[in-house]
Amino acid sequence: NLKKHFPIKNKNPFLKSTRSVKAVDGVSFTVNKGETLGLVGESGCGKSSTGRSILKLLEPTEGEVLFKGEDITSFRGEKLRKLRRDMQFIFQDPYASLNPRKTVEQIITEPMKIFGMPKEEQKRKLDRLMDVVGLSSYHKQRYPHQFSGGQRQRIGIARALALDPELIICDEPVSALDVSIQAQVINLLEDLQEEFDLTYIFIAHDLSVINHISDRVAVMYLGEIVEVGEVDELYANPRHPYTKALLSAIPEADPTVEKERIIIQGDLPSPSNPPQGCKFHTRCPLAEEQCKHTRPALRTVSLGGQQAACHLVKEVVEI
C-alpha cells in the first residue's frame, strides 16, 4: 500500500496546503529473487516515483516496503547506509547522472570508497567491472563527455554494480539512447543478471522493451497498479481495458494480421485531482455507472495468477 503524495504549495503562505499530487497512490506488488518485474505505463503515471520511494530516494508518504521480510521504510542512519549496498538505481539519463568533473575511475570507485574497500581491491574491482560492462579499463582516466551515450549508460551500470547489490531498479535505462544502442544495453543487463544473480525492477513506457526483458509485468495508471501478471500471459490475454488499449497500440510485425487499435479517449486526468471510483472511468470505453463511484480492487482473474482491478473482469478462485 505504498503512497507518495507531493503537497502542492499554497499561494497564500499563511494557509496550510491541503492539496497534493498523488504520484503513487496505494501500490502493492511483489518481486521475487532473480526475476525482472517490468513496471509500465504512460509518462506521469507514477512509475519513477514508485521506484524512488522503494529505494528511499524519495521518502514514502505511507505504506511499507519489505525487503527480505523487513520493513525498510523506517530505516535510518547506519541501517539505511547498509541497505544502499543491496539496492541500487540505474538512471534514465546517463548524461545527467554522471558527475562531469570526475573520471570514470572516480565515478565507479566512489561507492567502494564510501564503504571503506581497500585500495587494491578497488583497483581490481574497477578493472573487472569495466570489463564486464564492455568498456576498456584503458579509458578509466577519461571523463563522461568523452564517451557516447551507450558507453555512459555502461558507466552508470558499472557504478550500480560496485557494491554487489541484490536488487537494481532500472528507471528507463535505455529510453534516452539510440534505438540501435538500446538492444546492446538491454542484452548487457540480461547477461549481468545471470552472472551476478540480480533482481530487477525495470521501469519503461516502451511495451516492446518490457515484453523482452520482463518475467512479470505491472501496469500503472494514475498512481495505481491496474493489472499484474506473467509477461506472456498478460501480453497474450490482457484483462484490464487500459492494458488492452496500451497493447493494441504495439505495431504488428506481420502485415497480414489484422489488429484492432483501441484508442483511449481524452487526456490523462491530473494526479492532484484524480477521478472518483475507478480512476480510468473518464477514459474507459466500457465504463458503467458503478465505475464512477466504486474503486475496483486488484483481484486474481486467472489460474495463472494474473490480477486486474476492474469491475467487469471476473474473479477466479482456485478450488
Interface residue list for ligand SF4 (CB under 6 A) = 240-241, 278, 280-281, 284, 286-288, 291, 296, 310-312
CA torsion through residues 126, 175, 40, 249, sign: negative
- Rounded least distance, CB 285 to ligand SF4, Å: 8
Given the complex with ligand SF4, which of 170 and 278 has the nearer CB atom? 278
Is 279 within 8 Å of 222 (Cβ atoms)?
A: yes
CA-based nearest residue to 305, from 32, 1, 26: 32
- Rounded least distance, CB 15 to ligand SF4, Å: 35
The binder of Mg ion chosen from 48, 53, 182, 243 (CB under 5 A): 48
Among ligand SF4, Mg ion, none, partner that 284 touches (CB below 5 to 8 angstroms by kind): ligand SF4
Structural element, H or E, at residue 179: helix 179-196
Given the complex with Mg ion, which of 48 and 53 has the nearer CB atom? 48
Alpha carbon separation from 218 to 138, 203, 230, 243 (Å, rounded): 41, 10, 9, 10
Given the complex with Mg ion, which of 37 and 313 has the nearer CB atom? 37
Given the complex with ligand SF4, which of 83 and 312 has the nearer CB atom? 312
Among ligand SF4, Mg ion, none, partner that 286 touches (CB below 5 to 8 angstroms by kind): ligand SF4
Among Mg ion, ligand SF4, none, partner that 140 touches (CB below 5 to 8 angstroms by kind): none
- Rounded least distance, CB 221 to ligand SF4, Å: 9
Among ligand SF4, Mg ion, none, partner that 200 touches (CB below 5 to 8 angstroms by kind): none
Q: Which residues contact 77 (CB under 8 A, 6 or more apart)?
A: none
Given the complex with ligand SF4, which of 258 and 260 has the nearer CB atom? 260
Among ligand SF4, Mg ion, none, partner that 21 touches (CB below 5 to 8 angstroms by kind): none
Question: Judged by CB under 5 A, does residue 50 bind Mg ion?
Answer: no
Among Mg ion, ligand SF4, none, partner that 80 touches (CB below 5 to 8 angstroms by kind): none
Cell of 153: 549508460
DSSP notation for 138-154: GGTTS-GGGS-HHHHHH
Amino acid at 124: R
Specify the length of the chain in residues. 319
Given the complex with Mg ion, which of 27 and 301 has the nearer CB atom? 27
Buried b (16+ CB within 10 A) or exposed e, 259-297: eeeeebeeebeebeebbebbbbbbbbeebeeebeeeebe
Is 194 within 8 Å of 14 (Cβ atoms)?
A: no
Among Mg ion, ligand SF4, none, partner that 296 touches (CB below 5 to 8 angstroms by kind): ligand SF4
Given the complex with ligand SF4, which of 174 and 310 has the nearer CB atom? 310
Summarize as ranges the residues that interact with Mg ion (CB under 5 A).
48
